[in-house]
Amino acid sequence: MVFTTEFSPLLEDYDKNERLTMAAILQYFENAGSRHSDAAADSAIKVSETLGVAWVLTDWKICVSEFPRYGQKIKVETWSEGLTSPFGTSRNFYLYADGALAVEGTSKWVRLDLKTGRPMKVEADLLDRYGPEPGKKVFGGEKLEKISLPEAFEAEKKIQLRRSDFDFNDHVHNLNYYDFALEVLPSGTDGSPEGAAKNLRVSYKTALKQGDEAVAKFARDGDKNIVGIYSGAGVLACAIELH
């Protein structure tokens, strides 16, 4: 089942050149997946509260062919590939601007027992409710490439965590790590109109929680901009690659 939903972008979703930002694209993809979960009777907040389980995002890959422009109609298609491991699934996305395909993406998810903090097997009947499309893939079905972090970084910046950074699971919300990365990137490589990255790869390692500190570290590798988000204790929380 390919789940389709539409979005009405807000003013803050655009840069000064009237282009939809990467941050907004991530939000639309996340919310499209959430709407699909609601339709499958697998509401994220309700299931977390009542059953103590959750889908935990581990990876993103986003490729932009053309950034949608202000005033264009936005439609997102999303679908599950079904089980890609005993504990998880992949969810894919297409974003259309005025009917033309503008962005494609994929994400990986693990079903987590919130009490033990360990992955749990995904029930077949749960995924059946999503109407999986195992043969419908993006990026030619290629496996997600690993992000290689450098031994040394060129710059780093401490990030003061705010209450608004935390979601209903009391973890830093996954999309906020991208915002943290923007704080350490040099001017012109940060998704601004002069240097908007069209390719994004994100890999989540350990969730930042209440009481943690965050440090964003940057290095350049050829045409790629690499950011590691670490806890104050030096534990890697998230790796991000943009180009």
Give the model confidence (pLDDT) of 13-42 as tens digits. Answer: 999 999 999 999 999 999 999 999 999 999
**pLDDT confidence tier of residue 153, bands split at 50, 70 and 90:** very high
Output DSSP code: residue 172: B
Strand duo 53-64 + 100-113: pairing: antiparallel
Angle, alpha carbons 151-156-159 (nearest 5°): 130
The pair of three-digit structure tokens given for residue 144, joined into one six-digit string: 């997600």
Q: How far apart are CA 243 and CA 241, in angstroms?
A: 7
Q: Would you mind telling me the total number of residues written for the chain in this entry?
A: 243
pLDDT at 57: 94
Q: Examine the pLDDT at 77 and tell me if it is beyond 70.
A: yes
Percent of the chain exceeding pLDDT 70 equals 97
Nearest partner of 238 among 113, 65, 56, judged by Cα: 56
Three-state DSSP class for residue 77: strand
Q: How far apart are CA 225 and CA 190, in angstroms?
A: 9
pLDDT digits (tens, 9 = 90+) for 79-127: 999 888 889 999 999 999 999 999 999 999 998 888 888 889 888 888 8
Three-state DSSP class for residue 182: helix
Q: Identify residue 77 by its one-letter amino acid code.
A: E
Output DSSP code: residue 238: E
**Residue 7, number of CB atoms within 10 A of its CB:** 17
Report how far Cα 186 is from the mean position of its chain's Cα atoms: 22
pLDDT at 195: 58
What values do phi and psi take at 142, rounded to 5?
A: -70, 145
Q: Whose structure tokens read 């996954």?
A: 174
Nearest partner of 217 among 231, 196, 206, judged by Cα: 231
Residue 128 CA neighbour count, 13 Å, CB half: 3
pLDDT digits (tens, 9 = 90+) for 7-20: 999 999 999 999 99
| Contact yes or no for 198/63 (Cβ under 8 A) | yes
Q: Whose structure tokens read 């069209």?
A: 198
Determine if residue 211 is left, alpha or beta; phi over 0 gives left, psi from -120 to 50 gives alpha, anything else beta: left
Exposed e or buried b for every residue in 186-218, given b needs 16+ CB within 10 A?
eeebbbbeeebbeebbbbbeebbeeebebbbbb
Q: Examine the pLDDT at 194 and tell me if it is beyond 50.
A: no
Percent of the chain exceeding pLDDT 90 equals 74
